[in-house]
């Protein structure tokens, strides 16, 4: 515990130049260690890189799947509501057009279908009575 206090006091008493010199020496020490352990360190870094890439890819895939599910969940009611409103608007337009065509004396599809059914029934009656 006393050693930590002494080190803190020494570090606090260093001038900016001394601190810069310490960083420089630390950097040189890192380079020296890297040179001594270069091959092993490089091999370990490659292994760590592959492991990190694998984890990052897995995480990205999971995030994509989760996001897709959340978006789907949010959009489902919106799509359903849009479909409902579109159908409702379409029915309103068809009704309005039907009213206008009726006022103009133009028969609707339902009117024509009904007439076709009646004509077919009358034709059968005529053929049966002969």
126 pLDDT higher than 60: yes
The arithmetic mean of pLDDT across residues 48-71, rounded, is 93
Q: How far is CA 22 from the centre of its chain?
A: 49
pLDDT in tens, 83-95: 999 999 888 888 8
104 pLDDT higher than 80: yes
CA–CA distance, 93 with 85 (Å, rounded to integer): 12
Enumerate the domain spans of the chain: 37-105
> Which H or E run contains 125?
helix 109-129
> Which H or E run contains 130?
none
The pLDDT assigned to 43 comes to 82
110 confidence band (pLDDT: 50, 70, 90)? confident
The pLDDT assigned to 46 comes to 84
Q: What is the DSSP letter of 37?
A: T
The pLDDT assigned to 103 comes to 83
DSSP codes joined into one string, 60-79: HHHHHHHHHHHHHHHHHHHH
């Amino acid at each position: 515990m006393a050693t930590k206090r002494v080190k803190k006091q020494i570090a606090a008493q260093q001038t900016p130049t001394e601190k810069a010199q310490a960083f420089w020496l630390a950097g040189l020490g890192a380079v020296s260690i890297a040179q001594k352990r270069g091959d092993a360190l490089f091999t370990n870094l490659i292994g760590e890189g592959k492991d990190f890439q694998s984890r990052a890819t897995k995480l990205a895939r999971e995030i994509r799947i989760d996001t897709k599910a959340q978006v789907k969940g949010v959009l489902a009611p919106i799509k359903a509501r849009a479909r409902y409103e579109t159908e409702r608007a379409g029915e309103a337009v068809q009704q309005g057009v039907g009213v206008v065509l009726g006022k103009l004396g133009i028969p609707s599809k339902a009117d024509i279908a009904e007439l076709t059914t009646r004509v077919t029934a009358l034709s059968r009656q005529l053929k049966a009575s002969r």
